[in-house]
Each structure stands twice: as C-alpha cells, then as structure tokens.
Amino acid sequence: MAVIIAILSQKGGVGKSTLARLIAREYANAGWKVKIADLDVSQGTSFNWHGRRLQTEIEPVIAVGRFGAVAARTLTS
C-alpha cells in the first residue's frame, strides 16, 4: 500500500521543499521506501538536495524525481 503525503501552497518561499525533505528523511530513517516528487521544475530544490546527498554519500539514499505534472503512475514507480 502506498502512502502519499502532499505539501502544497500557492505561495513561494514558505518551506514546502524543506518540510518535504525532512519528512522523507525521517520516514527513510525508519525503514520506509521513500520518493520525493519535485514538481517545481524551474527551481528543483529537492532534486539539487538529492544530488548533494549522493556526492557526500549521506545515508539513507532518498529517491527524488523531477516531474512537470502530477501523474500517479510516474510518482509511484
């Protein structure tokens, strides 16, 4: 069973990406399989965060994908 947690706001700069990364890290540390869907393709802060974590070999590895639109089949794969 998949659990989807969405963090949404129409306003920029309110901490959505930061909160999503914190939640993902905590679930991953607890042994859950986690994937962040970064829907802000122009900024990609979660995608860039993922790259920095990979470069410095920070565990656990958390999957992050960049998506231009919401589609359930791509978010869960």
How sure is the predictor about 75, in pLDDT bands with cuts at 50, 70 and 90?
low
pLDDT digits (tens, 9 = 90+) for 16-69: 999 999 999 999 999 999 999 988 878 889 989 999 999 999 999 999 998 887
Please tell me the predicted confidence (pLDDT) of residue 76. 55
Coil/strand/helix, residue 65: strand
Please tell me the predicted confidence (pLDDT) of residue 19. 94
Global pTM value: 0.79
Question: Which amino acid is present at 72?
Answer: A
How sure is the predictor about 74, in pLDDT bands with cuts at 50, 70 and 90?
low
CB 35 within 8 A of CB 63: yes
